[in-house]
Amino acid sequence: MTEFSLASYANKPLAECTELELFNALLSLTKDAAAEKGYNQGKKRLYYISAEFLIGKLLSNNLINLGLYDQVRAELAEAGRDLAELEEFENEPSLGNGGLGRLAACFLDSCATLGLPASGVGLAYHCGLFRQSFDKNKQYESPDYWLRWGQESWMRRTPKHYTVNFGNLSVTSTMYQIDVTGYHSQCDTLNLFDVDTVDERVIKNRINFDKSQVAKNLTLFLYPDDSDEAGRILRVYQEYFMVSNAAQLMLDECVERGSNLHDLADYAAVQINDTHPTMVIPELIRLLGERGIGFDEAVQIVRDTCAYTNHTILAEALECWPLSFIERVAPQLVPIIQQLDAFVRGQYEDDFVQVIDQWQNVHMANIDIHFSHSVNGVAALHTKILEDSELAPFYKIYPEKFNNKTNGITFRRWMVECNPGLNKLVSGKIGEGWKTDAEQLEQLLPLADDPAFLAQLDQVKRTNKQTFAAWLAAHQGTVVDPDSVFDVQSKRLHEYKRQQLNLLWAIRKYQRLQMLEADELPKHKVTVIFGAKAAPAYTIAKDIIHAIICLGKVIEADPVASKYLQVVMIENYNVTAAQHLIPAADISEQISLASKEASGTSNMKFMLNGAITLGTMDGANVEIAELVGEDNIYTFGDSSDEVIARYKRGDYNPRSYYEKDEELAAAVDFLTSDAMLAQGDATNLNRLHDELLNKDWFMTFPDFADYCATKAQVLKDYEDREAWQRKALVNISKAGYFSSDRTIAQYEKDIWHLR
């Protein structure tokens, strides 16, 4: 084992280095240390294909996993330098959007740690997902040039190049590699493809660019605006580029490892992360055909190799492309997709399960289900809804394919790295074993009766809240009170996640504060903290952001209410912000409309960091509730069965709730009050008001009263600090089930069989 000394990677004394010089020295050191650990290898390899990898900053994560963190920090400190300064300096890779991408990142961490040979395969987006800023209380999007400032060097350029043929043009690619370090183990890799002709100059203003110049724009943005046809076709180009590269890479590597391609399934497992990589199925069939394998055998080989994960039951996210788009982008796939369609038609009559529908639209999920050997949901309830309703006709045909893999998170990033105080407290009591054997956290349970330990837990939370407050002040100039209750909802902005329900609660709270007598005022101030990006073309989501920011300003201007309530929106919420925020949270808001959130993973991160969940019985919340017991979680709202039944009846009318509940009506109408209009834009506020009153597709009104009553109980219980920390301790102790190491072990055992 080499002794790694940072000084030997710098060409001048560490004290005299610029941040860039220090950062580059750390990069080289980390890469050498990773190379020395070596890479997980074996006959069979996992190819995890995903449009997103939300990997977060890598410096500290890699140092921790390589066992170099303390040593490097000490060496820096000796030279009067601070590792935190370099963590700030590092740009966060902008390669993902939300849960699906972060899950992919946690999975790679666990694969590497468990010694499974695995490659992530995706795209090297130059500007990634947009960077969010606020101006006039609205979201603005700009390109996130995360590759600048020397940081591109996490990505190693490889000599691998492929040709990808589109209908009207042919492009070449280059593969870049990022090391995925396992915790005290070997490495895996994240393989990201870039198009060689990429040209950032096609970007016009902000995130607008010439959509027709595919060879130049293909790898610029993640999820480019798809509100017009050019944008949707571009998405198909991106997807085909991703999977064609993935398929070619995989076949090359498998042949190198000794496969004759007939036995491909013994050499590769492909996991299709949502429908975005679906075209890998016809592409593999096509490539196997080129190499002399007949259609029927190729179909069987591909089915044995591929597995599909469904992450959503929202119809809009189940991709469905006009065959004419595929004809333009990848005409070579059309006859194959038609053959797959004919194959299905020959066996099943039900329109629902066909590959190509009567309007000549290709249903990507249907390809995945017929032509892979495993279909999994991401939480027990989600899988059950897929089986019983959403995908019931498929479940009837292929009951053996369906399985559940409840999501998980890597505890290395989501506790060891982001919450050093808690890491120290926990490890001081039960040792370090929980970092790779997460169920050991249960050893903390007896401490629920130890007031001294609960006080220490409280102290850790307090410190984290102060640290977060300092970070927020430095980053966006917003001042929050660390003595207030941190009530946090951070996740993609979507109506089904119901940030608007939380917003209505905050309005109601504000209105009540205005009516209270001095002796009734609450003990603790509540700081409602939101972090969320809205898709650029998602109008109502942006209206919700606008309303949240406006409300924050209204309250701030009120001398009395602002002592008891603050509403804050974090700018450009990303993994870095999450790592600061989650350890500081008291309340974890998981308030999606029951049946709509496939799993959620922030719920797990908050729990692990000692926040108490206030949530609906949706996604993985259900499993959290089972584990911690009803005393240690707050649940409310209609059940998924009730919600599904109400959708089926089709008789939901938000007005009937509005008319019956005066407080609800007052809160809704406040959106267009003079106070709000003085802060914001009438178009946006009126639109949101009307949307809620006339449509409210995600049924916030029926859950409003129960949500408010439950939240009142949460805030009341917060006053008993010892009882509260006991709940926190139970949550931390029971979080072990949600380690992505457990999830990955299940994928390995049930689906991949890499070993």
Planar angle of CA 520, 480, 528, nearest 5 degrees = 65
Q: In the bound complex, what is the minimum distance in angstroms from residue 597's beta carbon to ligand 26Y?
A: 5
Catalytic annotation, pick one of 57, 370, 492, 734: 492
* Tally of CB atoms within 10 A around 137: 19
Q: Is 527 a catalytic residue?
A: no
Residue 305 or 621 having the CB closest to ligand 26Y = 621
Contact 165, 146 (CB under 8 A): no
Of 56 and 600, nearer to ligand 26Y (C-beta) is 600
Query: Catalytic: 491?
Result: yes
Distances (CA, A) of 354 to 286, 357, 725: 20, 6, 53
As measured in angstroms, the least distance from the Cβ of 538 to ligand 26Y is 10
C-alpha–C-alpha distance, residues 170 and 237, integer Å: 12
* Chain mean position to CA 526: 26
| Single-letter amino acid code for the residue at 59 | L
Identify the active-site residue in 601, 635, 700, 743.
Answer: 601
Does residue 751 sit in helix, strand or coil?
A: helix
Nearest distance from C-beta of residue 600 to ligand 26Y, angstroms: 5
80 Rama class: left (phi>0) / alpha (psi -120 to 50) / beta: left
Measured distance CA(545)–CA(557) in Å, rounded: 19
Least spacing, CB of residue 51 vs ligand 26Y, in Å: 7
Please name every residue paired with 173 in a beta bridge, in sequence order, or none if there are none: 162, 195
DSSP-based three-state secondary structure for 118: strand
Q: 104 or 285: whose CB is closer to ligand 26Y?
A: 104
10 Å CB burial of residue 749 (0-12, 13-18, 19+) is: exposed
Query: Edge to edge, what strands does the sheet with 45-49 contain?
Result: 156-165, 170-181, 187-195, 118-123, 45-49, 268-273, 306-309, 375-377, 402-404
12 has catalytic annotation: no
Complex with ligand 26Y: residue 402 or 658, whichever CB lies closer:
402
Kindly state the helix (H) or strand (E) to which residue 589 belongs, with its residue range: strand 587-590
Residue closer to ligand 26Y by CB (options 103, 503) is 103
Cβ distance 510 to 675 under 8 Å?
no
Q: What is the rounded distance in angstroms from the CA atom of residue 716 to the CA atom of residue 524?
A: 10
Among residues 90 and 741, whose Cβ is nearest to ligand 26Y?
Answer: 741
From 126, 405, 412, 497, active-site residue: 497
**Cα 201–Cα 203–Cα 207 angle in degrees, nearest 5:** 155
* Pairing of the two strands 118-123 and 187-195: parallel
Minimum CB separation from ligand 26Y for residue 558, in Å? 35
Name the minimum Å distance from CB 179 to ligand 26Y: 24
Q: Which helix (H) or strand (E) holds 194?
A: strand 187-195
Per CB under 6 A, residues contacting ligand 26Y are 97-100, 103, 223, 274, 311-312, 317, 378, 407, 597-601, 619
Residue nearest ligand 26Y by beta-carbon distance:
99
Q: Is the dihedral of CA 643, 647, 649, 653 positive or negative?
A: positive
Q: Tell me whether residue 542 is one of the annotated catalytic residues.
A: no
Q: Is 37 tagged catalytic? A: no
Residue 707 CA to residue 633 CA, distance in Å, equals 13
For residue 126, the one-letter residue type is: H
- Taking the least distance from each CB to ligand 26Y, the nearer of 223 and 701 is 223
Residue 509 is a catalytic residue: no
| Distance in Å, CB of 318 to ligand 26Y, minimum | 8
Q: Which is nearer to ligand 26Y, 272 or 472 (CB)?
A: 272
- Between 274 and 571, CB nearer to ligand 26Y: 274
Min CB(310)–ligand 26Y separation in Å: 9
Q: How far apart are CA 689 and CA 305, in angstroms?
A: 49
How far apart are alpha carbons 369 and 398 in whole angstroms?
9
**Residue 112 token pair:** 């590497």
| DSSP secondary structure, 360-413, as one string | SEEEHHHHHHHTSS-EEESSHHHHHHIIIIITHHHHHH-GGGEEE----B-HII
Q: Give the residue from 5, 143, 19 showing the smallest Cα distance to 74.
A: 5
Sign for the pseudo-dihedral over CA of 579, 580, 585, 590: negative
- As measured in angstroms, the least distance from the Cβ of 539 to ligand 26Y is 16
* Smallest distance, ligand 26Y to C-beta of residue 99, A: 3
What is the C-alpha radius of gyration for the chain, rounded to an integer number of angstroms?
26
Q: Which is nearer to ligand 26Y, 188 or 618 (CB)?
A: 618
CB of 103 to ligand 26Y, least distance (A): 4
Q: Could you report how far apart the first and last alpha carbons of the chain are, in Å?
A: 27
Catalytic residue, chosen from 45, 303, 311, 413, is 311
162 Cβ partners below 8 Å, 6+ apart?
172, 173, 175, 193, 244, 245, 248, 249
**CB nearer ligand 26Y, residue 312 or residue 595:** 312
Active-site annotation holder among 491, 494, 596, 711: 491
Show which residues are catalytic.
Answer: 311, 491-492, 497, 601, 605
